[in-house]
Amino acid sequence: MLATLYVVRMLGLFMVLPLIAIYSADLAGATPFLLGLAVGAYGLTQASLQIPMGWLSDRIDRRLVIVLGLSMLTIGSVVAAMSSSIWGVILGRFLQGAGAIASATMALVADYTREEQRAKASAIIGGSIAIAFGIALVLGPVLASFGGLQMVFAATAGLALMGVVVVLFLPKPQRFDREKRPDGAGFQGSRLSQVLSIPSLNLMYLSIFFLHLTLMAVFVVVPTSLETEAGIALEQHAWVYLGALVLSVPGIYWLVQGRRYMDRPIANLMQCLGVLLLGVLLLSAGDLWPTLVGLCLFFTGFTALEAMLPSLTSIYAPASARGTAMGVFASSQFIGVFIGGLMGGALLETVGAVGVWAGMAALTVVWAVILRLSRLASPAAIAA
């Protein structure tokens, strides 16, 4: 049920990725920079609210926090659907981001599972996010063909309401007992300092930041690149994304099979980064076949990392501060979303698409160097 909740929430956020750069270009006041802001706007409010919402979920019923977040996602989607200017869409995206439930949901996963099964449960959630990403890239263009960007935002509002229904059927976790938790009415600064002092967790925060920064910046360029450089008509984009995602499945399976990353996390994360980097380089070529192969490789690396990183974070996080740790993780993710949208739009406006590709390739190399120089504890040993 929590995986379903993640899917319906992330569908709404991911569906606009292949669409905003094209469909919002005709809105009043649209510029390349503002299009980038519209892509990443929800990341700012997500980043700002994940830690407070994670902390709040450590103090009250996490299900109430999730319902509140889904309500904000609904309101933001309605505002964006009713807007005729780029500024209205940006406002709607900011409001969508106020539905910051990732930290509370991941903490709820931990509440529902035994210690020895927690990594598996987190991997399932991570996999559901990856599945939502794939479905969204196909479903978004299909919905837009019937009613443009407004139809996609309306569908997002409907999905958020479906998420509320899912939450209503979630049972109360056995572990979720106020009397068993540390007492205190105020913000627990010690918890935050604790989860910020663990090197393995800091590496996870940095990795999810880089991953979503790259995703947002790339998707400021990809839809237009498919249409103008690869010569693929807009109505065919859904099939392109579907084909690339299907072809990426064997690579994703190979990268995450048997949870090998639990024993050799650095080696497996480096493999994913190599695939991601190769995808970015091929996407920059501009021709049809390099673009298609690059898209497939990019999806392979991104989806594998999207499944691995939450699982690893849940293992490295102390049980007493897991909600706070997942809040920092989610905040890092959405800071990446916001900065990625801004950076992609700024690079596109100043130096063109080539600047976006070069910037993301350089960022991936820096990320790989940081990983290579890091000493990451074995999550398998920690789980045991």
259/170: higher pLDDT: 170
SS3 at position 113:
coil
Per the structure, the complete domain to which residue 246 belongs is given by: 2-170+192-383
In one letter, which amino acid is 352? G
Q: What is the pLDDT averaged over residues 308-317?
A: 81
DSSP per-residue string spanning 2-32: HHHHHHHHHHHHHTTTTTHHHHGGGSBT--H
| Residue 42: inside a domain | yes
pTM over 0.85: no
What phi, psi does 168 have (nearest 5°)? Answer: -60, -25
pLDDT at residue 87 greater than cutoff 80: yes
| Residue 344: inside a domain | yes
Neighbours of 186 (CB within 10 A): 7
Sequence-separated (6 or more) residues with CB below 8 Å from residue 77: 12, 92, 96, 153, 154, 156, 157, 160
pLDDT at residue 318 greater than cutoff 90: no
Q: What is the CATH number of the domain that holds 146?
A: 1.20.1250.20
126/359: higher pLDDT: 359
| Residue 244: inside a domain | yes
> How high is the pLDDT of residue 42?
80
| Residue 176: inside a domain | no
pLDDT at residue 110 greater than cutoff 90: no
| Residue 179: inside a domain | no
Average per-residue pLDDT in the chain?
81
> How high is the pLDDT of residue 62?
80
The total of structural domains in the chain comes to 1
Give dist(CA 164, CA 363) in Å, integer: 38
Whole-Å CA distances, 63 to 116, 176, 367: 24, 11, 35
Q: Which two tokens stand for residue 88?
A: 């209205």
| Residue 137: inside a domain | yes
Neighbours of 47 (CB within 10 A): 22
Residue 109's nearest CA partner among 97, 120, 99 is 120
Give dist(CA 19, CA 144) in Å, integer: 8
| Residue 180: inside a domain | no
